[in-house]
Amino acid sequence: MCGIVGYINFDNNKPADFSVVRRMSDTLIHRGPDAEGFYVKNNVALGHRRLSILDLNTGGQPMFNYDKSIVVVFNGEIYNYVELREELRKLGYNFYTTSDTEVIIKSYEQWGVDCQQRFNGCWAFALWDERKQQLFLSRDRIGEKPLHYAVYNNSLVFGSEMKSLFAFGVPREVILEILEVYLVMTNIPEPHTFYKHIKKLQAGHCIVVKKGSVSELSYWDLPEI
């Protein structure tokens, strides 16, 4: 178990604040007690709390591509990363770690946001493409790994747990009507939460943020029976 946090200001002229993303990350120390890492540049901030499992020496995050134009923070595991790594090597890609995180980066370089179609695993990740000025959030097909987000104060904020969004400053405005749903269903269906501003990224969905526009897309669903 690891934890990811971050945000992007829609105003390109409003720089991200390291102290804010650090505060968000500190709420998830229980998810990743082994290490922490940050990326803060211009209007984007990403944070990662790591529980070291794979590639103990070179698997730290955030992880970058060769020219640091792409950066990712990732919670989960790509089960078929060895097979994907071999496929990408045949396409001419070089690898510098043995981690599944690097496979996500190279897969994105090759297939763009369609890379998530090729992953077999459980994941929640955030990938920033500096060249395209695009933030890409993805959650696995059945939602095993959590990812919450809010569009608040002219920013998109995300985190593995809601407490990291509260640390950003998202208000705790409760939706009392949701309590009735919870008592009937004993759960709160995605994308809803108890809080007005916070949503769960639905299983099998991704979010693309570009030029201040937020698009949530479905990339997978159960087949019709």
Give the C-alpha distances (Å, rounded to integers) separating 157 from 106, 188, 200. Answer: 25, 21, 12
Phi, psi for 204 (deg, rounded to 5):
70, 20
Check 2, 115, 122, 206 and give the catalytic one.
Answer: 2
Annotated catalytic residue 115: no
Beta strands in 79-193 (DSSP E): 121-129, 134-139, 148-152, 155-159
CA distance 48 to 25: 7
Tokens describing residue 19: 């102290």
Strand partners, 155: 9, 152
Q: Name the pairing type of β-strands 44-50 and 3-9.
A: antiparallel
Catalytic residues: 2
